[in-house]
């Protein structure tokens, strides 16, 4: 993954998010859904690990909700 869309993060807190999924997500699938490559996003079985502001996370999840053919978001947790 080469780059990440960065919103204006001045004054915004950046968090680590765990996005729980059902199904299989690949980097290629996420890139095709969102139209972007993310550097602060990694995958493991059943989870997508995402680092960004709450707005970045919301944008990312909104894009993922558009195509739930291979995986579905079932939960989101903010890590401390």
* CATH number of the domain bearing residue 37: 3.30.70
pLDDT of residue 40: 83
In the chain, how many domains are there?
1
Question: Is residue 21 included in any domain, yes or no?
Answer: yes
pTM for the structure as a whole: 0.79
Distance between CA atoms of residues 78 and 1, nearest Å: 22
Left, alpha or beta for 33 (phi > 0: left; psi -120 to 50: alpha)? alpha
Question: Is residue 27 included in any domain, yes or no?
Answer: yes
Question: Is residue 48 included in any domain, yes or no?
Answer: yes
Task: State what percent of residues in the chain have pLDDT above 90.
Answer: 48
Question: Is residue 5 included in any domain, yes or no?
Answer: no
Question: Is residue 62 included in any domain, yes or no?
Answer: yes
Q: Sign of dihedral through CA atoms 8, 74, 62, 43?
A: positive
Left, alpha or beta for 46 (phi > 0: left; psi -120 to 50: alpha)? left
Considering only residues 31 and 6, tell me which one the structure prediction assigns the higher pLDDT: 31
Distance between CA atoms of residues 20 and 22, nearest Å: 7
Question: Is residue 1 included in any domain, yes or no?
Answer: no
Banded model confidence at residue 8, pLDDT cuts 50, 70, 90: low
């Amino acid at each position: 993954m080469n780059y990440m869309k960065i919103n204006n993060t001045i004054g915004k807190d950046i968090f680590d998010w765990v996005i729980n999924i059902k199904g299989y997500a690949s980097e290629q699938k996420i890139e095709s859904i969102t139209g972007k490559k993310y550097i602060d996003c990694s995958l493991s079985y059943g989870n997508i690990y995402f680092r960004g502001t709450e707005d970045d996370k919301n944008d990312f999840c909104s894009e993922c909700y558009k195509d739930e053919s291979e995986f579905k978001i079932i939960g989101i947790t903010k890590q401390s």
